[in-house]
Amino acid sequence: MINLETPRKFRAFVNQAHQVAAEMLRPNSRRYDLAEHEYPVELDMLAAMVDGLGASGTGSGAGASGVRRTEADADGVVNGSNLSSVLSIMEMCWGDVGLLLSMPRQGLGNSAIASVASDEQLRRFDGVWAAMAITEPDCGSDSANIQTTARLDGDDYVLNGEKIFVTAGGRCDAVVVWATLDKTLGRAAIKSFVVMQDTPGMTVERLEHKLGIRASDTATIRFDNCRVPRENLLGTADIDKGFAGVMQTFDNTRPLVAAMAVGCARASLELTRELLSEAGAEVDYDRPVHLQPAAAATYLSMEADWEAAYLLTLQAAWMADNAQPNSLQASIAKAKAGRTANDVTLRCVELTGTLGYSEHQLLEKWSRDSKILDIFEGTQQIQQLIVARRLLGKTSAELK
């Protein structure tokens, strides 16, 4: 049975992540929001510190890396890398979402590698900062409609196509690219490939200007007869294995994005409560909601919504650690946390008035940052569709 307290072995690590967020990320939050596309040099020192914690056995990464399914202990349960990752990400995104997404060697592509790579690939790509390239100009939510092709030619796959909205695509060491081996075979032929940044034929076309997470670079990347060694194909090239191996990545990364949303929403709630208190609207947990000021009653409603998102995120990560199928729970957590973060951050701006809307506080920034958390790694609508398919026992062809 899941225990809702932070596991004892993770408490020191989670506290360290919170200290980093408070002392390094949040103080630099506004600076890199205004200086879009400027690389946050402070993160190099932070990445070195995270590597040191991992090497010493006192940490397992402060970002989106290291999520790999492990077999549950026959004598109990496992609190592993999935749970530690979501707990640390919550703390880091309490500091700043964009800076967390800019962390070296903590990209969503690292989660893809950790999820489906062979042991040999795990060793070979150890220490590589990997972005994830899925979305295309004509393929957004329907990832099965990918048009980027991968054609086997001797010992290489030749990639052709264009990817957009690649987080950290301009700064990373490598990109995990989704491509199809044969368009006529549909989703079963879609595989993922690790393409190193300096590979001929791979070009970063531009960096996008964005509403939020402005500290993180978001790239458009073109592949023009880009040759990738066949051993860089993640998992197996066997089409009979289908799309499930590639999609398993989402079961591990969606709880991570949910954790980002939970952390961002928590930051907004905490600051809003402070500002309400200063204005004389105290939140009293010992009084019924209807006997409290309207602002306090609204705050309590938001906090309850946040608590639900938090618990669902823990559940999805815990199930992955214990080798339990969590596709349904990962989508529920992502849908709930993404929507909650949007609602909470915007309502916090409303509750705090001019303080929330101006740049004197970070509330307006958090409301901008939160929007992407309901979009990438599967939109709100796609998550609801996945949940409906799982609950009703329908295939993607039967329920579109």
Alpha-carbon span 201 to 239, nearest angstrom: 26
Q: Annotated catalytic sites, by residue?
A: 377
pLDDT of residue 93: 97
Alpha-carbon span 116 to 101, nearest angstrom: 21
Residues 6+ apart with CB under 8 A from 56: none
CATH architecture for segment(s) 128-241: Beta Barrel (2.40)
Asked if pLDDT for residue 64 goes beyond 80, the answer is no
Mean pLDDT in residue range 354-383: 96
Alpha-carbon span 119 to 133, nearest angstrom: 22
pLDDT of residue 244: 60
pLDDT of residue 54: 57
Q: Do 214 and 208 meet the contact criterion of CB atoms below 8 Å apart? A: no
Mean pLDDT in residue range 97-119: 88
pLDDT band at 252 (very low <50, low <70, confident <90, very high): confident
The residue with tokens 């989106």 is: 64
Query: Which residue in 112, 139, 143, 138 sits closest to 125, CA to CA?
Result: 112
pLDDT band at 141 (very low <50, low <70, confident <90, very high): confident
Asked if pLDDT for residue 56 goes beyond 70, the answer is no
Q: Do 207 and 38 meet the contact criterion of CB atoms below 8 Å apart? A: no
Q: What percent of the chain has pLDDT over 70?
A: 90
| Among 58-67, 274-283, 304-313, 333-342, the least confident range | 58-67
| Among 48-52, 186-190, 253-257, the least confident range | 48-52
Alpha-carbon span 371 to 362, nearest angstrom: 15
In this structure, whether the domain defined by 8-121 belongs to CATH 2.170.220 is answered with: no
pLDDT of residue 2: 60
| Among 4-18, 216-230, 364-378, the least confident range | 4-18
What residue ranges do the domains of the chain occupy? 8-121, 128-241, 244-392
In this structure, whether the domain defined by 244-392 belongs to CATH 3.40.50.720 is answered with: no
pLDDT band at 74 (very low <50, low <70, confident <90, very high): very low
Mean pLDDT in residue range 92-114: 91
DSSP lists the bridge partners of residue 158 as 151, 227
Q: What percent of the chain has pLDDT over 90?
A: 71
Asked if pLDDT for residue 68 goes beyond 80, the answer is no
pLDDT of residue 140: 82
**10 Å Cβ neighbour count for 1?**
5
At 350, which helix (H) or strand (E)? helix 327-352
Q: Which two tokens stand for residue 253?
A: 């990364």
Q: Do 246 and 116 meet the contact criterion of CB atoms below 8 Å apart? A: yes
Mean pLDDT in residue range 332-358: 97
How high is the mean pLDDT of the chain? 90
pLDDT band at 61 (very low <50, low <70, confident <90, very high): very low
